[in-house]
Structure 1
């Protein structure tokens, strides 16, 4: 039979047959006078075995030991020993495959848990799952789609830069900022922050800065008693670079003044109110 006939009978493509030849799991048969390869029923059996092993997840490069299992030499002592070794090798491979599949199942279960967590909070799928509840609360309270995107991008950025060691600390910061009593004050401030532009007067900027200090100050003062894990300083540098690209001049001014005020609060955590750092 020709390659097209073999492919049709085995349920594969001609291209797959060529790949089997290239990787060495299927020997190339002799060609007829017209140049076409001539396959027989033994080749069909071989391809069917390859398909069965592939369905189990066994990679092609590991198949020769199973396909060439010494069955042709099964007569006599040497053949028996070869068959026993092939059986032991197959058992080891199946044990290893079972472990790999168990690990894949565990990984898929964890992925489903993350997906369920993100769905429950209607959070973006690219958000770190530990930040999803807070980020979703921020997004719901925000009056600006632009700021929602900025918050999302910065959450992704900071979460990566602080790493696993800082993830819990970062999640705690987000959790406290998304508490109902904090968010109820933060939401209207965020709306005012989003509206800042070149025409905003100094009085409005001062009020927004004071408002943020009043919201963030107690959280910063409380967290100042515990040392932030490594990575937060580096994250602050990249956050500043990101903010410089996506925020207006007045908004950046608010952030700069806010950072200065909060640094003073952190240095003197007992003074967290709006008058803590005039």
Structure 2
């Protein structure tokens, strides 16, 4: 049979046949008087074995060994099974993430554990501020790494729903800050934020920092995205949270 016939029977392309010849995987038959390769059923059987093995994920470089050595084939099957199990676990986790994103309504670029901290523009937060918060959460989720977002969300839950509920109005007030904002409002906002975030800061004070670059990168993002008054407020807030002698939580006392 001609190469086109062999390729059609085996469900591969003629280009694949030529590649297998080049790497020595499939013996090249002698040519006819007219210069055409003439294949027989033996070539077809070997080609079918190759396509079956490669369909399991076996690299072409390993195929010759597997074709001719049953012991090597058994060992390789164990490795392939382990890879398949790991892939199934990864895909199962991905589907769980997708389901969580759908339930929470969070965008796909944000871990669902942190989606509850997004502010809605309908709550008095500007579109620019909501976008900035979104960028903050994306950066934080990455720098926390691994199970960091889940642990951070757990700390927020410990602080209580009242704390979470109050963050929306505070963020709306923060969104409205500008050069004409009275100093009294700026100071009051910082103090209220300190009061609300104090329990979370106390819980996090004894936790190891997953990435020491977090404060600097968040500050750089704040400076890039916020107006000068808002940026100064966040710096004052961080300074207060760092300096405040928070009492130990119930698990620390």
Query: Could you say whether these structures have the same fold, taking a TM-score greater than 0.5 normalized by the shorter chain as the test?
Result: yes
- When residues 192 and 14 of structure 1 are mapped into structure 2, their CA distance, relative to the original with a 3 A threshold, is farther
Task: Measure, in 2, the Cα distance between the counterparts of 1:250 and 1:60.
Answer: 62
2:140 is the counterpart of 1:158: yes
Name the residue aligned to 2:228. Answer: 249
Instruction: Give the C-alpha shift of residue 166 in structure 1.
Output: 5.4
* C-alpha separation in 1, matches of 2:11 and 2:242: 68
Measure the CA separation in 2 of the matches of 1:253 and 1:101: 52
Aligned residue among 183, 207, 212 for 1:228? 207
RMSD over aligned CA atoms reads: 2.9
Which stretch of the first structure deviates more once superposed, 57-66 or 150-159? 150-159
| Aligned twin of 1:54 | 54
- Give the structure 1 partner of residue 118 of structure 2: 138
C-alpha distance 19-157 of structure 1, shift in aligned 2 (>3 A): farther
After the TM superposition, which residues 92-107 of structure 1 pair with which residues of structure 2 at under 5 Å, given as runs? Answer: 92-107=75-90
2:177 to 188, 196, 199: 196
Contact 1:159–1:170 (Cα < 8 Å) also in 2:
no
Partner of 1:44: 44
Contact 1:122 1:136 in 2 (8 A): no
**How many aligned positions are there?**
246
Moved over 6 A (4+): none
2:95 maps to what in 1? 112
Q: 1:29: which partner in 2?
A: 29
User: Distance in 1 between the 2:29 and 2:119 partners?
Assistant: 64
| Secondary structure at the counterpart of residue 256 of structure 1 | helix
Q: Please report how far the alpha carbon of residue 109 of structure 1 lies from its aligned counterpart in structure 2 after TM superposition.
A: 2.1
Asked if the contact 2:114–2:149 (Cα under 8 Å) also holds between the matched residues in 1, the reply is no
Q: Which runs of 5+ in 2 are unaligned?
A: 249-253
Contact 1:66 1:90 in 2 (8 A): yes
**1:212, 1:258 within 8 Å by CA — same for their partners in 2?**
yes
Query: What whole-Å deviation, never above 9, does each CA across 1:235-267 have from its counterpart, x for those lacking one?
Result: 1111111111111111101101111221222xx
Q: Deviations over 1:148-189 (max 9, x none)?
A: 333333233233334448556533344346x43112211011
Q: Are 1:170 and 2:152 matched, yes or no?
A: yes
Superposed CA offset, 1:13-42 (max 9, x none): 223223323443223333445554443332
